Chain A
């Protein structure tokens, strides 16, 4: 079994009103150091035995469903699970 950690984030060119709202709250709380916040999604995908190449499998799933590449970028980390 392999655990894949996938991060889906809005592209740089896309405004993130949710992130801006959270940033506004933090600044209001006194954390004036905070310059920007981008909110994304984190997915843990556990993959069983497969004959397919893991990278191409994960990329395919990301591009077909998990991310919308018109507005989102994705990256992932592979972790061997027990």
Chain B
């Protein structure tokens, strides 16, 4: 399986994403610059964290206007997997690929620590390697991770089982319903504030994030083995 790790000016988790795929999973991965206009050689797209365009105006707003995002929209429409983490999640909401928006953390602080997440939905292509309701330890590092959407959108998210991860312990950012990650209705675009790519080796504290990537690869293998 071949992954694209998008790189915007100001991305800073791109190397961790690359490492997770290349070194931990042994799959193919390439960096793709934000002005790229073709993603046809890839099977999965990873939108990494960071501060694209300095977070000027709004997180993810200007990254959404880059050439590669038009391709990511086509990629998602084709049903292929797209994972956005942290700033990547913010970019996917700005792009309209996921509903809602990420607001400033309720306590106005940049939060950088490992948190407990609950796997609310393990019936997705990103989470089927986890147990339902499993508690995992994954780091967060964000100042604007306070998920918000209107009441109607929230009702839809619940009805369609689109809330994939919630904060299990203390909610670090004030997000609605403790939401940490959501998936689109079709089930091929996941956005989450915590960083699974920073939790891929017990030597560095936790490997609980690895199953996100393993889930994607296993699903892809099963549908591509002839």
Co-complex (A, B): yes
Q: Which residues in B have their C-beta under 8 angstroms from that of A17? A: 104-108, 174
- Size range of the chain B interface in the assembly: 20 to 34
CA distance A12 to B111 in the complex (A): 26
Check B103–A14 contact: CB distance below 8 A: yes
B22 within 8 A of A: no
CB closest residue in chain B, given A41: B57
A70 within 8 A of B: yes
B222 within 8 A of A: no
Greatest chain B CB density within 10 A among A15, A21, A41, A68 is at A68
A13 within 8 A of B: yes
Which of A15, A64, A68 has a CB less than 8 Å from the CB of B106?
A15
Check A18–B61 contact: CB distance below 8 A: no
CA distance A15 to B174 in the complex (A): 10
B207 to chain A, nearest CB (A): 34
Q: Which residues of A contact B (CB under 8 A)?
A: 13-15, 17-18, 21, 41, 64-66, 68, 70-71
Q: List 11 A-B contacts (CB under 8 A).
A: A14-B148, A15-B103, A17-B174, A21-B108, A65-B62, A70-B99, A70-B100, A70-B101, A70-B148, A70-B150, A71-B101
- List 20 other contacts, CB 8 Å, given A17-B105, A70-B93: A13-B150, A14-B148, A15-B103, A15-B106, A15-B174, A17-B104, A17-B106, A17-B107, A17-B174, A41-B57, A64-B65, A65-B57, A65-B61, A65-B65, A68-B58, A68-B101, A70-B101, A70-B150, A71-B101, A71-B103
Which 6 A-B pairs rank lowest in CB-CB distance, beginning with the nearest? A70-B101, A71-B101, A17-B106, A17-B108, A68-B101, A68-B58
